[in-house]
Chain A
Amino acid sequence: DQQVKQNSPSLSVQEGRISILNCDYTNSMFDYFLWYKKYPAEGPTFLISISSIKDKNEDGRFTVFLNKSAKHLSLHIVPSQPGDSAVYFCAARSEYGNKLVFGAGTILRVKS
């Protein structure tokens, strides 16, 4: 049973527009959430994170929103650039603090 779900396998966005990637989780004990970005033939790289005590964290063009009551988080990329085309993984830290639980990933394509 997947505890972290990314229900959109892919997303296509025009350059300059907003990209919104979504993630849902089932375990209310998760206390820390992260987004990773992955290019082909490379390992995932950390993008942005948010603690469960916050509802928003911003870093340049990237903003993560957390809605604890809905067990939902989203990543906003504004404006989207062709170089943002990659697979994005949502992850949550387990309540025991010993591992990250990843979603299946969303492929983002930014068209120029």
Chain B
Amino acid sequence: AQRVTQPEKLLSVFKGAPVELKCNYSYSGSPELFWYVQYSRQRLQLLLRHISRESIKGFTADLNKGETSFHLKKPFAQEEDSAMYYCALSGLSGGYNKLIFGAGTRLAVHP
């Protein structure tokens, strides 16, 4: 079964501390993984995708197929990073891609 697990509902850190938001997935093929973010009173939006292998707003995520993980990391958290983060997996269904989301982790960065 295709599934995305985000074990932490809330991650609370102080400004300047490192951040790691955990994501594990279950998928039988070659997955495409994403992180979406929702800031307060804003729409859900794409933060980054694993195939791009880029850093967005200081965040990076590496796909580890052996551990079936796609953790989101940032070395120094900022207050503006406070938001809801969703890990998502894209898998084929009927020949078309569909996104499967995790339950989300709320990141709270305190001054």
Question: Is the pairing of A and B real?
Answer: no
Chain B interfacial positions (CB closer than 8 Å to A): none
A binding-site residues for B, Cβ under 8 Å: none
